[in-house]
Chains A and B, each alone.
Chain A
Amino acid sequence: MESAHIKTHLHSLGMYVLKILVALIMFMPIIWILTGGFKTLTEFTTTANLFPAHPTTENYQYIFEHSNIWRYMANTFFLMFGATIGTLLSSALVAYPLARMDFTGKKVIFSIIVATMLIPNIALIIPQYIMFGKIGWLDSLLPMIVPAWFAYPYNVFLFRQFFRSIPKELDEAAIIDGCTRPQVFFKVIMPISKPTIVTIGILSCVFWWNELTQPVFYINSDKWRTMTIALMTSFMYTSGNAFVINWASIMAASTFMLVPPMLLYIFGSKYLVGGIKTTGLK
């Protein structure tokens, strides 16, 4: 009896050790970024101290003085909200009949949506680049925001999964009461879908906040730069013949970029875990 007791204790201790080890590995790059922003460039490029020997705020001054960081932030927020609001509204609209109505061609449409989920966006980015060039949208945020208003297959799929879990009697009762389908959607379905809307909204915000690929293809000028491109291009300079990357400033700017997704996670973790359950991804 006693030895079994010790065994469970050892087992639970072992689990803690493993958990802490994995946590250290996973959190290490974040600590590296956070502390790196407070090191001098010399310290950053010559030592691997985890904590700065002489903490400095010069990198934060540098990124505000040497780049239009406020503009990049504003652009990124604009892109994030523009695309997220669009995809939430349009994807939910499209998912509604797929989950809760009978109509001709439903199976075909749903199959196409699932199939397009498998197309990596990057495979179509060159033809889209030519296309957006022809209508004069290059070097703006339009090639990223406008398509979001026409429903993303992945988000349609998530909304559909959730809508299917709502009892059908709800719609029928509302229709008998004289509601039209759009009224059912906006007044009955959307209000009870809040957890799913928050989940997909957070996922979309994080995606657009972090998106590098599309801005790299579509954006040229400083005016429409997002934070991700700024990180790649704004903190390097030439000194004589040498090409200097201001690593410490990149870490400081990365720290700024970390904050919004981190807040979103803290605010939404309850929804994220629950949302994955209800959307029945499993």
Chain B
Amino acid sequence: MRRKNQDNKVAYAFILPWIIGFLCFTLFPIIFMVQQSLTNRKLNGVSKFIGLTNYKNMFRSSVFWNSLRVTIFFTIVMVVVTTIWAIIMALLLNSKQRFNGIFQFCYFLPSVVPTVALAYAFRTIFGKNAGLLNNILSMFAGRNIEVNWLYQQNTIYFVVFFITLFTYSTGQMMLIFRSGLSDVPKELYEASNLDGATFIQKFFHITLPMISPLILFNAVSGCVSALNGSFALLYPLTSENGDPNGSTQVLSLLIYKEAFSNMKVGYACALSVILFLVAAVFGGLIFAISKKTVYYED
């Protein structure tokens, strides 16, 4: 009993940094955020209690509903697109051939490039007049193509999701899938070869079930990075207004705009509460889905 007590003390001494960090930088900000969302706090610090007014205004604002829709859409599509692309790259690297080291270098390197540098590179690659993509398309089409990729509602999503293939989250997923794929027992494939299974059959009946716990992990961390990383990608790409016409204005951009351009910090706190809840719902949903579909080896 005394031994256990002693151990408790030592263990909590080790954990102390996290306890302090959790209280100061997570729990307190959460409570403070909820409290401040009930005020009309301005950027200069002047504030007054106004009850639920921020929330009432928010639910009446079409900008907010648009932003919420964009956030949910962006998160879901980004997680799906980047996960599929990461699996494709991992599958390619998993086929043992020469130069795999070089290929992996090429596949992973973009993910350590600063998102802001990527955003600027793609702003010019997708540019209207001297953009690389328009030029390549013109070459193939044999006539001058001038698509304004970044400022058209029907092309901007293609651009944004294409860029997410180059973000850190995709590279990390690829490395995780790669190490998972190399652990799938070879005998499973050999047995299915004898049965004459096609590549597609093998993928859906062996590979996918074997890596399903990894897909869950990647989907969860992909969600957090989509909610978190969208700011660093979209702010330099489409500005705080989420051009064109707010079609890329995720909640984090709106929070920034309300707090720093419109100086309504209290309102930005109310938006933050919503973003917090969105993250919670996404986390819960993924775990609920995974309980039904993920295959765990005993």
Residues of chain A touching chain B, judged by Cβ–Cβ distance below 8 Å, are 12, 15-16, 18-19, 22-23, 25-30, 32-33, 36, 44-48, 50, 90, 93-94, 96-98, 101-104, 106, 109, 112-113, 115-131, 133, 147, 149-151, 153, 156, 180-182, 185, 206-207, 209-213, 216-217, 227-228, 231-232, 247, 250-251, 254, 257-258, 261-262, 264-266, 269, 272-273, 276-277, 281-282
Could you give 21 example pairs across A and B, Cβ below 8 Å? A12-B97, A18-B92, A26-B89, A26-B110, A29-B118, A32-B124, A36-B124, A103-B12, A117-B224, A118-B283, A123-B272, A123-B279, A126-B265, A126-B268, A210-B232, A232-B236, A257-B114, A276-B179, A281-B214, A282-B183, A282-B217
B249 within 8 A of A: no
B227 in contact with A122 (CB, 8 Å): yes
B61 within 8 A of A: no
Given contacts A16-B97, A212-B114, A212-B232, contact A126 B269 (CB under 8 A): yes
Give bound CA distance, A45 to B255, whole Å. Answer: 33
Interface centre among A26, A98, A115, A216 (most CB of B within 10 A): A26
Give bound CA distance, A47 to B134, whole Å. Answer: 11
* Cβ of B15 to closest chain A Cβ, rounded Å: 5
Cβ contact of A120, chosen from B105, B259, B275, cutoff 8 A: B275
Give bound CA distance, A133 to B183, whole Å. Answer: 49
B7 in contact with A116 (CB, 8 Å): no
Q: Which residues of A contact B120 (CB under 8 A)?
A: 231, 247, 250-251, 254
Q: Which residues of B contact A281 (CB under 8 A)?
A: 176, 179, 214, 217
**Interface secondary structure of A, over-half rule:** helix
* Cβ of B11 to closest chain A Cβ, rounded Å: 4
Cβ contact of B166, chosen from A12, A29, A153, A232, cutoff 8 A: A29
Interface centre among A90, A102, A128, A282 (most CB of B within 10 A): A282
B84 within 8 A of A: no
Given contacts A117-B224, A251-B121, A282-B183, contact A26 B106 (CB under 8 A): yes
Of all A-B residue pairs in the complex, the 7 with the closest CB atoms, nearest first, are A150-B21, A261-B112, A254-B117, A48-B135, A97-B11, A103-B11, A127-B33
Q: Which residues of A contact B33 (CB under 8 A)?
A: 124, 126-127
Interface centre among B108, B131, B231, B255 (most CB of A within 10 A): B231
A261 in contact with B113 (CB, 8 Å): yes
**Interface secondary structure of B, over-half rule:** helix
B74 within 8 A of A: no
A46 in contact with B232 (CB, 8 Å): no
* Cβ of B188 to closest chain A Cβ, rounded Å: 16
Q: Which residues of A contact B130 (CB under 8 A)?
A: 44-48
B175 in contact with A272 (CB, 8 Å): yes
Given contacts A127-B36, A247-B120, contact A151 B21 (CB under 8 A): yes
Cβ contact of A124, chosen from B29, B112, B113, B122, cutoff 8 A: B29
A-B contact count (CB 8 A): 276
Give bound CA distance, A273 to B256, whole Å. Answer: 36
Chain B, Cβ-Cβ closest to A261: B112
A30 in contact with B110 (CB, 8 Å): yes
Give bound CA distance, A93 to B12, whole Å. Answer: 10
Give bound CA distance, A26 to B175, whole Å. Answer: 15
* Cβ of A133 to closest chain B Cβ, rounded Å: 7
Chain B, Cβ-Cβ closest to A96: B14
Q: Which residues of B contact A97 (CB under 8 A)?
A: 10-12, 14-15
B49 within 8 A of A: no
B8 in contact with A118 (CB, 8 Å): no
Q: Which residues of A contact B283 (CB under 8 A)?
A: 115, 118
